[in-house]
């Protein structure tokens, strides 16, 4: 496999979707019902809290949105500065692992708003940097678009017998299943590790790095 294609491999997509699902499940369960990555959900909850005149509550929804936007900008800067695609993606994986380690170290003493903000940086990196699966658009974070792709490709596959649509359908189902698996794993692990369950997310990210190393041989 060529270096430039490693991060479009289905295995990478599975691991990233598991991570994204786990992050949002963690922040929702452990950090006050807020999402690190699903900013549509935060926007809805922000509007509802404003309607209820609960301005203090509304802040915990707006901060992840701000951090997420900041995270996108940070990755954009890295994309302009680093011309080696493979090296940049590996560096971003290490960056995500370091942020999660920091969260694990400070989670008991830091504000939930700050914890969610840090994890929003990780989610933003996932969304901005990893956009292709076997050469096709890929989103490890936003499942609404993926559900739309499933419906569209299922129609094309069944009605038009489109082989490419069938392949995209299978890949998208795999992504959604992996995302749900990430939420499921986090829900189970949280029963035992509580706030420290965030550290489990290091496992799939580390596997991405290992997979990249093996396939560069």
Q: Which DSSP letter does residue 8 get? A: G
Q: Does the pTM of the predicted model rise above 0.85? A: yes
- pLDDT at position 3 is 43
Instruction: Identify the band that residue 4 occupies on the pLDDT scale cut at 50, 70 and 90.
Output: low
The domain in which residue 71 lies consists of 3-215
d(CA 208, CA 110): 29
Q: Cα separations (Å) of 159 from 41, 136, 155, 167?
A: 34, 21, 6, 15
Total of domains in the chain: 1
Instruction: Give per-residue pLDDT as tens, 120-173.
Output: 999 999 999 998 888 888 888 888 888 998 999 999 999 999 999 999 999 999
Instruction: Give per-residue pLDDT as tens, 24-83.
Output: 999 999 999 999 999 999 999 999 999 998 988 888 999 999 999 999 999 999 999 998
What mean pLDDT comes out for the span 189-215? 95
Residue 200, pLDDT above cutoff 70: yes
Instruction: Give per-residue pLDDT as tens, 77-118.
Output: 999 999 888 899 999 999 999 999 999 999 999 999 999 999
Q: What values do phi and psi take at 133, rounded to 5?
A: -130, 110
Residue 215, pLDDT above cutoff 90: no
Closest CA to 16 of 196, 182, 183: 182
- pLDDT at position 192 is 97
Element (H, E) at 67: helix 55-81
């Amino acid at each position: 496999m060529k270096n430039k294609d490693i991060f479009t491999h289905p295995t990478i997509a599975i691991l990233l979707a598991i991570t994204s699902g786990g992050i949002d499940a963690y922040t929702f369960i452990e950090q006050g019902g807020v999402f690190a990555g699903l900013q549509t959900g935060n926007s809805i909850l922000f509007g509802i809290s404003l309607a209820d005149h609960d301005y203090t509550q509304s802040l915990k929804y707006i901060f992840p949105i701000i951090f997420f936007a900041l995270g996108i900008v940070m990755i954009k800067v890295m994309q302009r500065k680093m011309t080696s695609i493979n090296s940049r993606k590996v560096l971003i994986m290490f960056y995500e692992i370091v942020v999660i380690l920091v969260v694990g170290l400070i989670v008991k003493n830091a504000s939930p708003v700050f914890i969610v903000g840090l994890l929003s940086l990780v989610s933003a990196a996932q969304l901005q940097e990893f956009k292709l699966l076997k050469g096709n658009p890929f989103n490890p974070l936003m499942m609404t678009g993926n559900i739309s792709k499933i419906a569209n490709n299922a129609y094309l596959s069944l009605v038009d017998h489109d082989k490419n649509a069938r392949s995209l359908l299978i890949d998208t189902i795999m992504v959604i299943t992996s995302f749900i698996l990430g939420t499921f794993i986090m829900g189970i692990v949280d029963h035992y590790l509580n706030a420290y369950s965030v550290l489990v997310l290091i496992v799939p990210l580390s596997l991405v790095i290992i997979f990249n190393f093996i396939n560069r041989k």
